[in-house]
A and B are shown apart, each in its own frame.
Chain A
Amino acid sequence: MSETLKYSVRPGTIRTLSILCAIGGGLTILGLFLAPSSVWPNILIAAQLVIELGLGGIVFVAIMYVSNAGWSVVFRRVPESMSSILPIAGIVMVLMVFGIHTLYEWSHASAVAKDALLQLKSSYLNVPFFIARLVAYFIIWIAFARIIRRNSERQDEHNSIALTAKNVRWSAAFLVIAAITIWLASTDWVMSLEPHWFSTIFGMYHMAGVLLSGVAGVSLLTIVLHRRNAFDAPVREEHFHDLGKLLFAFSVFWMYIWFSQYLLIWYANIPEETGYFIRRENSGWLTFTVLNVLFNWLLPFIALLSAAAKRREGMLLKVSIIVLIGRWIDYYWMIAPPFNPDAPALGIWELAPVLALVAAFFLVTLKSFSKRNPVPINDPYLVESLNYHT
């Protein structure tokens, strides 16, 4: 058997997503002329969201390979497909270079000249090196994602266990490299928005975000595709139970890292560091800080606490959506305050880029999913996954 029934995305779905993407994209381009200072940060937020989903997908696959996990094989094509947004996200991030002076204080030579700290940091925070790193991250991520996906696809035709062994090795290397690149990328793109502030746990915080986003995206898409009978094979509550466990665990992990960052800064009480949280406790921003904790941790924690809830497909779907909204809140909370110090601004320029890229993410992921066998039919762990029982 080398071919199963491929899933065809409903034309209506493609049309709706394309229209949403076009509206969002059009408004974003319009905004670049009308209100560039509001739109650039939100393009960054939108790009971060889909990068997190794409990376989360391929990191999920890599973790499953490295841990010799059998249970997830039946829906592995979902996280594999999620990584196909990375090239588009890469293009958006490269185009971000045009907005670099709007976004990053350290990119202005005049600002650096006046500032002793920025001068000290300028050997790392300078425009050419920034662009070189940006391109390097995406080349690395896309290359690993393609290699791991290609080996998985080739296994559909060549029934060879050697491809699984190969992917285990590639995945192990990727996980190490992903940890380093996510840490550096989060420093470059998000932490350097406030270049006088620093936090050594910031990279870990983003890794928690990637894992949380990845599992939420996988759960959401798997449930949606399962409801449309996209898989030839049964995806059952046993699989949802484990996805629910992971979503619960990474939600708690995210909160753990968030609080670790907060606690040390609060405890040490050094002005250089506390400014970051003081800016986010101001009148308008306090609501967002509370919402951030609520959507990324408290609601998922309460909703998924019992084993029965984790097994309920409808509950898992709702929690995944809550977490994905929480991811946007988290990025808005991290990126927007330097640009709107008094209160969060929410309007068309904030929503348009997010709408465009999130619609593009679903469009690209579904298209990529429909191009290949919905289930890795020759994976040695497929039988285990089909008969899985927690």
Chain B
Amino acid sequence: MRMFDAFRRKSATRSIGMKSSRRNGSHPRAQDGAQRYFIAEYDDPDALSAAVRAAKKGGYTIADVQTPFPIHGIEKVIGLRPTRLPLVCLLFAISGALAKLWFQIWTSASSWPVNVGGKPLTSVPAFIPVTFEITVLFAGLGTVAALLFRSRLFPGRQTSILDERATDDRFVVALLEDSAAFDLREAKKLFASHGALVMEERVREASQ
């Protein structure tokens, strides 16, 4: 699932029946420019899928879903765009093929011509195996590098997870409270009806 920037837990209210919402909807952003999120947790992937589907239908904006293992089809439900990594892979592959083909022709026919068995200096069949290998190497390394770069995955990166149990046995969904019409009570009702174990609001500071 998509990486999600650091959350700060606003309050310690962590129970389904929490009554103390400090507001009743109607203001999309807190005064300090922070963004509000609504978090719900489940212990079952199907319950989470059903809840996410219902939320999508209800017009909520789904910020992220975090699960211990990939749930097939959830990326379509939350509306993630298809990945463009295959295109990156193709471009790396083509550049690898061209670079290696050129390099071999240059080394064996131009820079240091060597007569091998009386064959023409530019004997393309002989260059194909290495070109193939370099194509695969460029495509493979390039795709991995592009993935790490685009996901900003570098050593020492602080990952932020909504709940540590999302790496174990909890299935977590975060809603973005992005419209004035967002009604916390309605949202709670919706997610509770699918069996949410934990529901709470969190605020992310604008500076982060």
Binding site for B on A (CB under 8 A): 259, 262-263, 266-267, 269, 305-307, 389
By a CB distance below 8 angstroms, the chain B residues around A389 are 72-73
Residue in A259, A269, A307 whose CB lies within 8 Å of B117: A269
How many angstroms between the C-alpha atoms of A262 and B123 in the bound complex?
Answer: 13
User: Can you list 16 residue pairs at the A/B interface with Cβ under 8 Å?
Assistant: A259-B128, A262-B125, A263-B125, A263-B126, A263-B128, A263-B129, A266-B125, A267-B117, A267-B125, A267-B126, A269-B117, A305-B90, A306-B86, A307-B86, A389-B72, A389-B73
- What mask results when residues 58 to 77 of chain B are scored 1 for a CB within 8 Å of chain A, else 0? 00000000000000110000
By a CB distance below 8 angstroms, the chain A residues around B72 are 389
By a CB distance below 8 angstroms, the chain B residues around A259 are 128
Closest to A269 in B: B117
The B interface is mostly helix, strand or loop, or mixed, namely: helix
By a CB distance below 8 angstroms, the chain B residues around A306 are 86
How many angstroms between the C-alpha atoms of A94 and B117 in the bound complex?
Answer: 46
Q: Which 9 A-B pairs have the closest CB atoms?
A: A389-B72, A266-B125, A263-B125, A389-B73, A307-B86, A269-B117, A259-B128, A267-B126, A306-B86
Contact-residue size bin, chain B (C-beta under 8 Å from the other chain): under 10
By a CB distance below 8 angstroms, the chain A residues around B128 are 259, 263
Q: How far is the CB of B87 from the nearest CB of chain A, in Å? A: 9
By a CB distance below 8 angstroms, the chain A residues around B126 are 263, 267
How many angstroms between the C-alpha atoms of A76 and B125 in the bound complex?
Answer: 40
Closest to A307 in B: B86
How many angstroms between the C-alpha atoms of A259 and B129 in the bound complex?
Answer: 9
By a CB distance below 8 angstroms, the chain B residues around A263 are 125-126, 128-129
By a CB distance below 8 angstroms, the chain A residues around B117 are 267, 269
By a CB distance below 8 angstroms, the chain A residues around B129 are 263
- What mask results when residues 79 to 94 of chain B are scored 1 for a CB within 8 Å of chain A, else 0? 0000000100010000
How many angstroms between the C-alpha atoms of A87 and B128 in the bound complex?
Answer: 42
How many angstroms between the C-alpha atoms of A207 and B117 in the bound complex?
Answer: 32
By a CB distance below 8 angstroms, the chain B residues around A307 are 86
- What mask results when residues 166 to 182 of chain B are scored 1 for a CB within 8 Å of chain A, else 0? 00000000000000000
Closest to B83 in A: A307
Closest to B73 in A: A389
Those of B84-116 within 8 Å (CB) of chain A: 86, 90
Q: How far is the CB of B34 from the nearest CB of chain A, in Å? A: 37
By a CB distance below 8 angstroms, the chain A residues around B73 are 389
How many angstroms between the C-alpha atoms of A198 and B143 in the bound complex?
Answer: 41
How many angstroms between the C-alpha atoms of A139 and B129 in the bound complex?
Answer: 40
How many angstroms between the C-alpha atoms of A269 and B123 in the bound complex?
Answer: 13
Q: How far is the CB of B128 from the nearest CB of chain A, in Å? A: 7
By a CB distance below 8 angstroms, the chain B residues around A266 are 125
By a CB distance below 8 angstroms, the chain A residues around B86 are 306-307
How many angstroms between the C-alpha atoms of A267 and B125 in the bound complex?
Answer: 9
By a CB distance below 8 angstroms, the chain B residues around A305 are 90
How many angstroms between the C-alpha atoms of A262 and B126 in the bound complex?
Answer: 11
Q: How far is the CB of B13 from the nearest CB of chain A, in Å? A: 37
Q: How far is the CB of A281 from the nearest CB of chain B, in Å? A: 13
How many angstroms between the C-alpha atoms of A266 and B124 in the bound complex?
Answer: 11
How many angstroms between the C-alpha atoms of A205 and B94 in the bound complex?
Answer: 27
Closest to A266 in B: B125
How many angstroms between the C-alpha atoms of A306 and B73 in the bound complex?
Answer: 19
Q: How far is the CB of A149 from the nearest CB of chain B, in Å? A: 31
By a CB distance below 8 angstroms, the chain B residues around A269 are 117
Q: A263-B126, A269-B117, A305-B90 are in contact. List 10 more A-B contacts (CB 8 A).
A: A259-B128, A262-B125, A263-B125, A263-B128, A266-B125, A267-B117, A267-B126, A306-B86, A389-B72, A389-B73
Q: How far is the CB of B199 from the nearest CB of chain A, in Å? A: 29
How many angstroms between the C-alpha atoms of A389 and B129 in the bound complex?
Answer: 35
By a CB distance below 8 angstroms, the chain B residues around A262 are 125
Q: How far is the CB of A353 from the nearest CB of chain B, in Å? A: 35
Closest to A262 in B: B125
